[in-house]
Amino acid sequence: MKCLPRNHVRLAKGNTLHDSHAEVLVLRAFNRLLLEECRRLLEAPMESQNTIVQWRRAPNTPGSSTDGPPFTIRHGTRIIMYSSEAPCGDASMELIIEKQGDPTPWMQTAAETSESSAQDPALFGRGYFSQLGVVRRKPARPDAPETFSKSCSDKLAMKQCSSVLSSITSPFIYPGSAYIHTLVIPESQYRPEACSRAFGPDGRLRPIVGDGVFLEDGYSFSPYSVQTTSHEFEWSRRSIPTDYRPSACNTALIATATSHEVIVGGTLQGRKQFNPRGASKVSRRSMWTLAATVARLLHNPMIDEAMAGPTYANLKSSELLLGRRELLDVVKSKALSGWIPNDGDEDFSLQEK
Tens-place pLDDT, residues 123-180: 766 667 778 999 999 876 667 788 999 999 999 999 999 999 999 999 999 999 999 9
* Highest-pLDDT range among 145-149, 206-210, 239-243, 346-350: 346-350
As a whole number of angstroms, the distance between CA 9 and CA 340 comes to 14
Residues with Cβ within 8 Å of 263's Cβ and at least 6 positions away in sequence, in order, are 17, 20, 25, 251, 252, 253, 254, 269, 280
188 half-sphere exposure, CB direction, 13 A CA radius: 11
Report the pLDDT value the prediction gives residue 212, as an integer from 0 to 100: 66
Exposure string over 269-283, b if 16+ CB within 10 A, otherwise e: eebebbebebbbbbb
Q: What is the mean pLDDT of residues 7-26?
A: 97
Residue 241 forms part of a structural domain: no
Q: Mean of the per-residue pLDDT values for the chain?
A: 88
Exposure string over 131-170, b if 16+ CB within 10 A, otherwise e: bbebbbbbbbeeeeeebbbbbbbbbbbbbbbbbbbbbbbb
Q: What is the mean pLDDT of residues 239-258?
A: 82
Report the pLDDT value the prediction gives residue 241, as an integer from 0 to 100: 77
Q: Is the pLDDT of residue 105 over 60?
A: no
Report the pLDDT value the prediction gives residue 348, as an integer from 0 to 100: 97
Q: What is the mean pLDDT of residues 50-66?
A: 73
Q: What is the mean pLDDT of residues 183-193?
A: 97
As a whole number of angstroms, the distance between CA 175 and CA 161 comes to 10
Indicate the pLDDT class of residue 114, thresholds 50, 70 and 90.
Answer: very low
Least confident of 11-15, 88-92, 102-106, 297-301: 102-106
Q: Residue 277 has what DSSP assignment?
A: G
As a whole number of angstroms, the distance between CA 78 and CA 95 comes to 29
* Highest-pLDDT range among 40-49, 52-61, 80-89: 80-89
Q: Residue 3 has what DSSP assignment?
A: B
Q: What does residue 248 show for φ and ψ, rounded to 5 degrees?
A: -65, 145
Residue 245 forms part of a structural domain: no
Residues 57 and 300: beta-carbon distance below 8 Å: no
Report the pLDDT value the prediction gives residue 121, as an integer from 0 to 100: 52
Residue 146 forms part of a structural domain: yes
Report the pLDDT value the prediction gives residue 28, as an integer from 0 to 100: 98
At position 99, the amino acid (one-letter code) is K
Report the pLDDT value the prediction gives residue 61, as an integer from 0 to 100: 60
Q: Is the pLDDT of residue 59 over 80?
A: no
Report the pLDDT value the prediction gives residue 131, as an integer from 0 to 100: 86
- pLDDT (tens digit, 9 = 90+) per residue, 212-241? 666 678 999 999 999 999 999 887 888 777
Indicate the pLDDT class of residue 111, thresholds 50, 70 and 90.
Answer: very low
- pLDDT (tens digit, 9 = 90+) per residue, 23-44? 999 999 999 999 999 999 999 9
**Three-class secondary structure of residue 173 per DSSP:** strand
Residues 345 and 13: beta-carbon distance below 8 Å: yes
The number of folded domains in the chain is 1
Domain that holds residue 172: 6-235+250-334
As a whole number of angstroms, the distance between CA 175 and CA 218 comes to 6
Judge if pTM exceeds 0.85.
yes
Q: Residue 282 has what DSSP assignment?
A: T
Q: What is the mean pLDDT of residues 184-212?
A: 94
Residue 330 forms part of a structural domain: yes
Least confident of 74-88, 100-114, 143-157, 233-247: 100-114
Residue 244 forms part of a structural domain: no
Q: What is the mean pLDDT of residues 54-77?
A: 80
Report the pLDDT value the prediction gives residue 32, as an integer from 0 to 100: 98
Residue 242 forms part of a structural domain: no
